[in-house]
Amino acid sequence: MDGKEVTLAGFAHETRDLGGIAFLVLRDRKGLAQVTLVKKLLGKEVFKMARTISRESVVLVRGNVKAEPKAPRGYEILPSEIRVINAAQVPLPLDPTEKVECELDTRLDARFMDIRRPSVLAAFEIESSVLKSLRDYFYQKGVTEVFTPKIVAAATEGGTDLFPISYFEKEAFLNQSPQLYKQMLMGAGMDRVFEIGPIFRAEEHDTRRHLNEAISIDLEVSFADDKAVMELLEEAVVGAYRYVSENCRYQLEVLGLNLAVPKLPFRRITYTEALDLASEKVGVKMQWGDDLDTETERFLGESIGEHYFLTDWPSSIKPYYTLPYEDRPDVCRGFDLMHPRMELASGAQRVHGYDQLVGRIKEKGLDPDGFEFYLKAFRYGMPPHAGWGLGLSRLVMTMLNLENIRDAVLFPRDRRRLVP
Ligand code: ATP
Ligand code: MG
């Protein structure tokens, strides 16, 4: 565009004053543009005003593009007009130029300003691409997108980790998972559904991979078994990596990342094999039926070094809706998708027989009466089905090697944070 007239608007990233000449660097989400302020061209008054524009003000510039090897990306703008659309106050709550490091809490308190930092923004733009890739994949597989209620009367798993809310004269909760609803939609003949929406967990965890509100990508497929939906899951994940590596080059460059697309198929390891592997390591002593602790997960992740599936879990530690193997009911068709750093997804072939489901609910010490609205869908012809739930932020944080899940959520909700 050398020689062309342009109009740019953006944030005043920085100003540099060298006396008779000054630079104003404008920034938007696509990058920086150097505006070279020359007194002779602008006149004394405008030149004086432009030199003192406060950082992060929203500024409009009209001028001509000129090739200039010393400018960022090889071009500068020689302005004929400069207008401050909205001035920023001083001092700023944090430095959006990323020159100064800053505590996570300070960043989250002024999140709008934090997101002006190119590397912070890049993660959210990539997240949007991940969602697009997943949606495209589901549509291509003939899956219907649905929304199920987030205000519910009963717990999915009968647990205590629910947020109660006041709902007129009734007791209600924020839903911890769309599990029961997506299963009911199998009974509704919708055949294959997906939902991308919030899940709420009232757990008092304080980790880098848990929040109290998260976005879950849920899939449920009729006439599919656990093996079939594991294939859909690994294809969806690898597809997202591939899409990001091809379509988010600028954002990956900002993050300094060379994204490697994982290879298909992922390794499958049974829970029992995982226990054996872990017990080879001194200090990890686990009994069959124990949930894998963080230390074991870390050990497995380090020794495997790539995505893997953990399959064939003990029925005792998977939810009641997980289908046990017919010939060995203490083992079930549940699976977890693991990244070396953490769990990304859980799924299973589900129990579809009414009597068996009621039995499993009782075995877990729960009252089937509380699940009547759900059980009803199993009495009048329920297809066999399987599905999974994948944590969006965990997928993004592991893909981009972000340290904390809070870096992959715009406005995170945790034990201490409800604002902004
Ligand atoms: P974990 O064992 O890591 O606490 P979970 O087994 O309780 O997770 P599931 O109920 O299996 O979680 O939920 C499916 C997926 O949703 C998880 O694999 C994870 O990616 C995501 N997820 C669940 N809970 C949270 C949370 N509190 N914060 C962020 N993501 C979550
Ligand atoms: Mg899980």
Domain ranges of the chain: 5-86, 118-266+306-408
Residues of the chain by 3-state class (helix, strand, coil), percent to 5: 35, 30, 40
- What are the Cα distances from residue 121, in Å, to 129, 312, 338? 13, 39, 26
Give 5-86's CATH code, choosing from 3.40.50.1000, 3.30.365.10, 3.90.1170.40, 2.40.50.140: 2.40.50.140
Chain length of the chain = 420
- Domain 5-86 matches domain 118-266+306-408 at the CATH topology level: no
Which residues lie with the beta carbon below 6 Å from any ligand 1 atom? 201, 210-211, 214, 216, 343-346, 389, 391, 393-394
Nearest CA to ligand 1 atom 4: 210
* Nearest Cα to Cα of residue 175 among 160, 163, 193, 159: 163
**Distance (Å, whole) CA 409 – CA 124:** 8
Q: Which residues of the chain have pLDDT under 50?
A: none
Confidence (pTM): 0.95
In single-letter form, the type of residue at position 207 comes to T
Coil vs helix vs strand at 95? coil
Nearest CA to ligand 1 atom 8: 343
Q: What is the dihedral of CA 98, 101, 106, 110, to 10 degrees?
A: 0
Q: Which CATH superfamily is domain 118-266+306-408 in?
A: Bira Bifunctional Protein; Domain 2 (3.30.930.10)
**Distance (Å, whole) CA 51 – CA 173:** 55
pLDDT at site 283: 67
pLDDT at site 360: 97
pLDDT by residue (tens digit) across 18-27? 887 899 999 9
Phi (first) and psi of residue 152, to 5 degrees: -135, 165
Active-site residue, 107 included: no
Which residue, chain included where needed, has tokens 């009597």?
A: 355
Active-site residue, 253 included: no
Helix or strand (DSSP H, E) at 50 = helix 44-51
Active-site residue, 201 included: yes
Q: Quick one: tokens of 204?
A: 């008092």
Nearest-ligand number for the alpha carbon of 394? 1
pLDDT at site 159: 66
pLDDT by residue (tens digit) across 110-162? 999 999 999 999 999 999 999 999 999 999 999 999 999 999 987 767 666 89
